[in-house]
Amino acid sequence: MPERNVCIIGGGMSLWGVREASIIDMAQEAAKDCFDDVPALKKEDIDGLLFASSYCGRSAFQVNIAPVIAERIGIKPTSMCTRVDTLCAGGSAGIILATGLIKAGLADVMMVAGGEKLYTPQRWETYYSEMASIDHDWDGAQGMGLPPPFFSMTAQEHMKRYGTTKEQLSAVAVKNRRNGSTNPKGHFQKEVTLEEVMAARAVVPPLGLFDCTPITDGCAAVLLTYEEKAKELSDRPLVYIRGAAQATLHSMSMNWPGEHLADWVHLRTAAKRAYETARVGPGDIDVAQTHDCFTISEVIEMEDLGFCKKGEGGPFVESGQSDFGGKIPVNTDGGLLACGHPFGGTGIRQAREMLHQLQGRAIRQVEGAEIGLTHNLSGLNVEHTILIYGREP
């Protein structure tokens, strides 16, 4: 069978935030929203389900969750039904895997969904589970676990080397909270001012409350199929998955692959390969959703994705180059800082926003966007996962 072009044709989200609902409830909400987005689709058309979640085995006490969700949303997968665990990048990893399966003809129409239930009555459990997310034998036993300390070190390194300021970091929070203020599905809709971000209580200096993504409950779902089937199921403009890559160069902080913590060589490695597979360069990208788990992350991502020079991420975000009207609008739906971050759900949320952007139906639309990039980092900055979408295959 010749290789097929793969399209994303629909997307949905549950409400994200602090939810009194189970992960299965939220997966159902996201899937329902996704089915409603593609009215011509019959549930029998779907032959595969990938569900991205890392904590469901702990905080939702459900392993092998994919068949439970398949039953709840009334689908009967015949090609592949499984969970994907790549922590914060699980959603994007699932989309890449589904693309491969559909391209090869092993699946025809796949739902890729993901999300987490993180708030439980036993909050200590979440903070205990965090230590399972790193090399727990060594880093966990010393008290590394929650991400803010690691990204604080990263921020300090960037400030020291490149003169990046707290005002510049804060500009990311102000922009993303503004973009998220009109997103009805996200965790936060309240805008924040530069003064509020600067004055907020410290989490781990220099990172304050608004520099950090919250812990969030929520799920999201998208539908992928091959080009001809996409034309059958949807009258909207086709959005193709043009290219992708995931780079993993280490497992933890002490084997860091870069020269210093603000040098994300594995992001550059993933970006190079993603651009090559999509046959585009950073200058061709019209809109991007990047992993703003912390404000410093988005600053470094601008550099190592090639949107600006290394070390110039601070001035780039402060001068509005990553905002509407700038060089490249980034995190147009609010990103992690406004939408929140139910790990496996984040890459799917980004894909849904990219689908809306490239079909011209986003809440905050980048005019004429034709090529878009989504990016996740996962773990203690272990993997970088990138997808490039386009109106042409």
Partner 1 sequence: MGFESFGTVSFTAEARVADFITHLEAGKVMATRCKKCGISYFPPKADCPKCLSSDVEWFEVKGKGKLMTYTIVNYGPTGFENDAPYILALAEFDGIQIFGRLSRDIGEKDIQVGMSLTVSPVKLPDDRIAYEFKKG
Prior bond of 149 cis (ω within 30°): no
Residue 1 interacting with partner 1 (CB under 8 A): no
Pick the piece of the chain touching partner 1 (CB under 8 A) from 127-135, 221-229, 240-248, 330-338: 127-135
Return the number of the residue (238 or 252) whose C-beta is nearest partner 1.
Answer: 252
Among 111, 169, 204, 355, binds partner 1 (CB under 8 A): 204
Residue 261 interacting with partner 1 (CB under 8 A): yes
Q: Which helix H or strand E contains 289, and what residues bound it? A: strand 287-289
Min CB(210)–partner 1 separation in Å: 17
Residue 393 interacting with partner 1 (CB under 8 A): no
Min CB(143)–partner 1 separation in Å: 5
Residue 127 interacting with partner 1 (CB under 8 A): yes
Among 42, 160, 231, 309, binds partner 1 (CB under 8 A): 160
Q: What is the C-alpha separation between 368 and 366, in angstroms, rounded?
A: 6
Min CB(339)–partner 1 separation in Å: 23
Q: What is the C-alpha separation between 109 and 138, in angstroms, rounded?
A: 42
Residue 142 interacting with partner 1 (CB under 8 A): yes
Min CB(187)–partner 1 separation in Å: 20
Residue 56 interacting with partner 1 (CB under 8 A): no
Among 30, 144, 233, 270, binds partner 1 (CB under 8 A): 144
> What is the rounded (10 degree) CA torsion for 378, 384, 387, 388?
140
Residue 64 interacting with partner 1 (CB under 8 A): no
Return the number of the residue (128 or 324) whose C-beta is nearest partner 1.
Answer: 128
Q: What is the C-alpha separation between 34 and 361, in angstroms, rounded?
A: 15
Q: Which residues are catalytic?
A: 88, 341
Residue 61 interacting with partner 1 (CB under 8 A): no
90 DSSP assignment:
H
Pick the piece of the chain touching partner 1 (CB under 8 A) from 202-210, 231-239, 312-320, 370-378: 202-210
Residue type, 202: A
Among 53, 54, 86, 152, binds partner 1 (CB under 8 A): 152
Which of positions 229-258 make contact with partner 1 (CB under 8 A)?
A: 252-256
> What is the rounded (10 degree) CA torsion for 315, 321, 324, 327?
-170
Which of positions 9-48 make contact with partner 1 (CB under 8 A)?
A: none
Count of residues near partner 1 by CB under 8 A: 37
Among 2, 124, 367, 368, binds partner 1 (CB under 8 A): 124
3-state secondary structure of 68: helix
Helix segments in the chain, DSSP class H: 23-37, 56-59, 65-72, 90-104, 123-129, 147-162, 166-180, 194-199, 227-233, 265-278, 295-304, 313-318, 335-339, 343-358
Min CB(276)–partner 1 separation in Å: 27
Return the number of the residue (148 or 360) whose C-beta is nearest partner 1.
Answer: 148
Return the number of the residue (148 or 326) whose C-beta is nearest partner 1.
Answer: 148
Angle (CA) 246-247-249 rounded to 5° is: 155
Strand partners, 371: 390
Buried b / exposed e over 317-326, threshold 16 CB at 10 Å, is bbeebbbbee
> Which tokens belong to 157?
């390194």
Return the number of the residue (21 or 132) whose C-beta is nearest partner 1.
Answer: 132
Residue 205 interacting with partner 1 (CB under 8 A): yes
Residue 143 interacting with partner 1 (CB under 8 A): yes
Angle (CA) 360-313-211 rounded to 5° is: 80
With beta carbons less than 8 A apart as the criterion, state whether 58 and 125 touch. yes
Residue type, 380: L
CA 362 to chain centre: 17
With beta carbons less than 8 A apart as the criterion, state whether 327 and 321 touch. yes
Binding site for partner 1 (CB under 8 A): 124-125, 127-128, 130-132, 135-146, 149-150, 152-153, 156-157, 160, 202-205, 252-256, 260-261
